[in-house]
Structure 1
Amino acid sequence: MKKILLICLVVLTMVYAKDGVEFKYANENTERKNPTSQNFILSYNNVLKNVRTSVVNISTTKTISSGGAYGNPFYQEQRGIPQGASGSGVIISKNGYIVTNNHVVDGADQIKVTIADDKKVYEAKLIGSDAKSDIAIIKIDAKELNAITFYNSDKVKVGDVVFALGNPFGVGETITQGIVSATGRSGIGIVEYEDFIQTDASINPGNSGGALINSAGHLIGINSAIISRSGGNVGIGLAIPSNMITSIATGLIDTGKYTRAYLGVGISDVNEDMSSFYDNKYGGLIINIEENSPASKAGLKRGDLIISIDGKMVESASGLKNIIGSFQPLRVVNIKFLRDKKIDIVNVKLASLDNKIASATLNYKGIDVIPLPSELQRLLRANANIRGGVLVDKVQLNSEAHSIGIIKDDIIVQIEDNEILSIDDFKASISSQNKKRIYLFRRGNIFAVVL
């Protein structure tokens, strides 16, 4: 009986061992190596010493209007209050061109630059800016500066050692270390064109516009933002990749503005279920084609999945948007796409996004309104439960709209009892010349004015 019981236990043990988990163990003979010893000090000083003078401190002064009367934010008093701010920048040419964030210099009346180991204070002028990517170019009158060396940001890998250089909280030159935590971060809602490099290197207010470099001392990005509930560093820093910087900086230096190309498609991501219809491939799925757009002229259709442009793989809708946005208008691009599970290729001549926006712009009593960008629409729905609106792109000085306090980037969400979801809604609501109640969304709040 005992023999039978023992045999049963052995059999059961074998059955459970067969169906159980087999743990994978490391080789116990794996060597442990120390990266340093008491005989030498591990340091990146030789790399950072050269880069220090490529990163500058930026201080700005701007005049802001004082608070409104009776708590009305639309009432502007005639006097202004000077306000100072600080940030960082990176020298990209020997003759004084510097790249920084648009939000560092936006609206500044005066821009001053200082360089490490140089006691001189330089007056800088704004060459051009691109709010949609948060990039700006300024210039100082100087020669033989230490221009930074760029690295191809498409080659950046998660885990690469990086350093963030800048002027946090205005304390002066500061260098912090970390790694690349992620690449291709988008959909955050900070700017319209997002393709961020994420890092855990300490980035704080004032680091904006500073350099993110690799361990060879080459620029991989411009520090732009942090994600933080407290406002301080919590290990999620975001940098604009160097390839986006070179593309936009070239346009800003040449013409003072950056003009993006335009394909004319509405796009979305492909989920796991949808990818089965496209041979398990991912990319930018066309969900809408605009009339007379480059896409419609090239024969693209709703349901086509764009998988590459000029040989560069498209992995998501935001990736497609960023690739097209990096091209200049009139460029002919090679688009590879999937239709009915067959790969096809078409050449498309891109148009100008600025021309498209200009044609959609509508002027009313001193304001230019344009369609609300899709990223803003998404943020409004998610955070304010607002379905849409139109964006105030410009306000003419001394116009009726200016006099009642409407400003650039206000979002018109309703006129009288009519919800505004498009330019056509706006046109219909202003057809009469009578004064109307206009509801504006600004910085998380809705206000009403009469215009």
Structure 2
Amino acid sequence: MTFKQVLATVLIAGATSVASVFVYNKYFEQRSPGIYQNGSTNIPVNYTSYIPNAIKTNDSNNTPFDFTYASKVAVPGVVHIRTKTNPRQVQNSRRQASPLQQLFGDDDFWDEFMGNNQRKYYIPGQMASGSGVIISDDGYIVTNNHVVDNADEVTVTLANSNRTYTAKVIGTDPYTDLAVIKIDAKDLPYLVYGNSDDVQVGQWVLAVGYPLNLETTVTAGIVSAKSRTIGINKVGTSNISPIESFIQTDAAVNQGNSGGALINTGGELVGINSAIASPTGSFAGYSYAIPVNLVKKVVADIMQYGSVQRAFLGISYYDPNKISDSDAKELNIRKDVNGVLVANAPDGGAASAAGIKEGDVITKINGINTLGIPQMTEQLARYKPGDKVSVTYLRDNKEHTVNVLLKNRAGTTDIVKSYAIDKLGAELYTVPANRASQFGLNGGVLVGKISSGIIRNQTTMRPGFIIIKAGDSQVTSLEDLQNALQENSKIRLEGIYANNSGNGVYYYDINTNN
């Protein structure tokens, strides 16, 4: 092949390549998507910015994954809480006094005479550690109920400081696992409330606390789910349900993180870390935080009234997706509906007064979707007795909306300053008249599941105990018991066991000031 032929071949090949590129760019490039989902070859400006103005850093490059600003804002407002529980004496139950005991009138003598030296025993003391979040510059701190529960001494150490204060427990709420404590200090750094309703699955969050007795520790993760319920706050067996609508994250949280802060990348408080999902007790992938919008309401109630003012809709309920096909057909409801099925709406309750009845499916509270039980209970927990909310429900697959006046658990709209009855630490409810008559009683208060509080700390009472007398007062209802406890701090509870009523009356002495 001659030189001219080789040169001609090269020129033709080059011209063909240039023409191909020109034709492709002109006719095909606009039809092909870019490397990003919006078809653009440019990175979207909000590629990793999940919260407006969240990226605040001195780094000139504004690196999206730089959490230094949020950490600097949050760390000073998260404290280390240490608690001490002293050894305590616990009283065994005592059966009804015999004629000889009444004659001698000395319980201790009678116990010794009968060889019963098991009436009292001691529980050893213990020490524990957790975290808390400063919410005001004058020393109010929010933490978990289980961090300070039963503690005789609570101390607070500020971040990166040797300053330690003795704290006073202002109030607790086991149903949400929240507590408010107070230290005598001023001009403290505190965290600003965010909005947990704005938290989105997939956004970055940071957990700040004192895990494993370490100094302040910050971990990062994303929100992996919302409105989770894990059954950890359940404190009884009645229809008074715990409030669980957790923010689930994969930020590393361990023992000692309880009560600490979950913050967004702007340094705002969006949750209080409360629990972990783990077969070992240590972090294994998921942690759970109480949404800050619920925290705000509980804290405000405790600071204003001394106890949480919980509003009740006055229904029993269950998930419509968990009922059988035959039951769904009988109730004429669709199982694919997102909502909460009303199992019962007793007369006198808030729902019944508004016309809601068995078989209705509640789908919204104040226009906010209640896709399941966690969402509904969280929405209701933001209100107090006497508040009005709009409730949207389905009946015969038709949508209705009514205004409901919420009530307290006694069936009124009264605000109660303090419930001495709450300090007992057990699920309590009035025995229905038909059940009371089976035991030959006019009424009574049944003790359900016993959690933490006076009953567990001071007695050996078991679930199933029916209180029929408190001091000199007959007890036929929760209101009777509440009144008796308000009048006397040291009082004897008298009653029988529902499953063992033939074995006589039992007595338990308690002191509500301890």
Q: TM-score, normalised by structure 1?
A: 0.72
Which structure ranks higher in relative contact order (CA pairs < 8 Å, sequence separation ≥ 6)?
2
Secondary structure in structure 2 of the residue aligned to 1:49 = helix
Q: How do 1:323-334 and structure 2 match up within 5 A?
A: 323-334=379-390
2:391 to 311, 321, 335: 335
1:283 aligns with 2:339: yes
Cross-structure match for 1:321? 377
In 1, Cα distance between equivalents of 2:315 and 2:308: 21
- Contact 1:199–1:238 under 8 Å retained in 2: yes
1:205 aligns with 2:260: no
1:295 aligns with 2:366: no
Cross-structure match for 1:53? 76
Matched residue count: 371
Distance 1:204 1:430, change over 3 A: closer
1:134-158 per-position Cα deviation (integer Å, ceiling 9, x unaligned): 0000011111211101111111111
- How far the C-alpha of 1:317 sits from its partner, in A, is 2.5
1:158-204 per-position Cα deviation (integer Å, ceiling 9, x unaligned): 11111110000111111111111111101434442100011111100
- How far the C-alpha of 1:99 sits from its partner, in A, is 0.3
Secondary structure in structure 2 of the residue aligned to 1:103 = helix
In 2, Cα distance between equivalents of 1:368 and 1:336: 33
More deviation, 157-166/60-69? 60-69
- How far the C-alpha of 1:80 sits from its partner, in A, is 5.8
- How far the C-alpha of 1:281 sits from its partner, in A, is 3.5
Unmatched runs of 5 consecutive residues or more in structure 1: 1-25, 373-387, 415-422, 439-451
Q: How do 1:219-238 and structure 2 match up within 5 A?
A: 219-238=269-288
In 2, Cα distance between equivalents of 1:76 and 1:170: 37
Distance 1:184 1:299, change over 3 A: same
- Contact 1:251–1:258 under 8 Å retained in 2: yes
1:305 aligns with 2:353: no
Cross-structure match for 2:3? none
- Contact 1:369–1:394 under 8 Å retained in 2: no
Cross-structure match for 2:312? 262
In 1, Cα distance between equivalents of 2:150 and 2:496: 31
Secondary structure in structure 2 of the residue aligned to 1:94 = coil
Percent pairwise identity:
35
Q: How do 1:18-417 and structure 2 match up within 5 A?
A: 43-65=66-88, 81-191=124-234, 192-271=242-321, 277-278=333-334, 281-353=337-409, 370-371=428-429, 390-392=448-450, 405-407=459-461, 410-412=462-464
In 2, Cα distance between equivalents of 1:171 and 1:392: 33
1:215-268 per-position Cα deviation (integer Å, ceiling 9, x unaligned): 111111100011111111011101001011001010011111102011111111
Secondary structure in structure 2 of the residue aligned to 1:178 = strand
- How far the C-alpha of 1:393 sits from its partner, in A, is 8.1
Secondary structure in structure 2 of the residue aligned to 1:262 = coil
In 2, Cα distance between equivalents of 1:394 and 1:90: 23
Secondary structure in structure 1 of the residue aligned to 2:175 = coil
Distance 1:371 1:67, change over 3 A: closer
- Contact 1:65–1:76 under 8 Å retained in 2: no
In 2, Cα distance between equivalents of 1:178 and 1:140: 31
Unmatched runs of 5 consecutive residues or more in structure 2: 1-31, 49-58, 93-116, 235-241, 413-418, 431-445, 467-476, 478-494, 508-514
Q: TM-score, normalised by structure 2?
A: 0.63
- How far the C-alpha of 1:318 sits from its partner, in A, is 3.1
In 1, Cα distance between equivalents of 2:225 and 2:254: 19
Secondary structure in structure 2 of the residue aligned to 1:327 = coil
- How far the C-alpha of 1:435 sits from its partner, in A, is 2.3
Letter in structure 2 aligned against 1:47: A
- Contact 1:202–1:237 under 8 Å retained in 2: yes
1:435 aligns with 2:504: yes
Larger CA Rg, structure 1 vs 2: 2
- How far the C-alpha of 1:295 sits from its partner, in A, is 1.4
Cross-structure match for 1:7? none
Distance 1:86 1:302, change over 3 A: same
In 1, Cα distance between equivalents of 2:283 and 2:450: 33
* Higher strand fraction (1 or 2): 1
1:341-400 per-position Cα deviation (integer Å, ceiling 9, x unaligned): 2222211111112568xxxx9x9xx9987249xxxxxxxxxxxxxxx9834589988xxx
Secondary structure in structure 1 of the residue aligned to 2:301 = helix
- How far the C-alpha of 1:277 sits from its partner, in A, is 3.7
In 1, Cα distance between equivalents of 2:383 and 2:319: 21
In 1, Cα distance between equivalents of 2:411 and 2:426: 15
Secondary structure in structure 1 of the residue aligned to 2:464 = strand
Secondary structure in structure 2 of the residue aligned to 1:318 = helix
Secondary structure in structure 2 of the residue aligned to 1:89 = strand
- Contact 2:209–2:218 under 8 Å retained in 1: yes
Distance 1:297 1:77, change over 3 A: same
In 1, Cα distance between equivalents of 2:336 and 2:457: 53
Distance 1:368 1:99, change over 3 A: closer
In 2, Cα distance between equivalents of 1:38 and 1:396: 57
In 2, Cα distance between equivalents of 1:340 and 1:431: 45
In 2, Cα distance between equivalents of 1:151 and 1:117: 24
In 2, Cα distance between equivalents of 1:342 and 1:260: 30
